[in-house]
Amino acid sequence: MLWNDPAHQKPIVASLTRLFTETFEPLRGYSRDTPAKKREAEDNCSRKLGALFSKLNNGDISKNAAEKLTQLCQALDKRDFGAALKIQVKSGVFVNL
């Protein structure tokens, strides 16, 4: 069963987009890594998020996976990182960025 409901996708996209911005905006002025490395990390993450958003939009993600992603985003939005980690571990989802 595939899950393609834009109403359910909006919070996921909004949450992950916000987290992406919060993560990479401060790094733009940070000089520890070379600009090329920072750009590579940002591009890599952006590409992976784009692929995820595309899969959500095309209904290529199962209902269960989308529900877990929603729960994960809700925990992250509340800054409840312990709960987010539990959801990630329980889901068996590990992202290698």
Alpha-carbon torsion angle 83, 89, 91, 94, nearest 10: 120
pLDDT band at residue 97, thresholds of 50, 70 and 90? very low
pLDDT surpassing 90 at residue 63: no
User: Tell me, what amino acid is at 87?
Assistant: I
Position 96 pLDDT exceeds 60: no
Determine the pLDDT at residue 37. Answer: 77
pLDDT score of 38 more than 80: no
Measuring CA to CA, which residue among 11, 4, 1 is closest to residue 56?
4
The pair of structure tokens assigned to 56 is 């959500």
Contact 68, 6 (CB under 8 A): no
What CA–CA distance (Å, rounded) separates 95 from 48? 10
| Model pTM score | 0.73
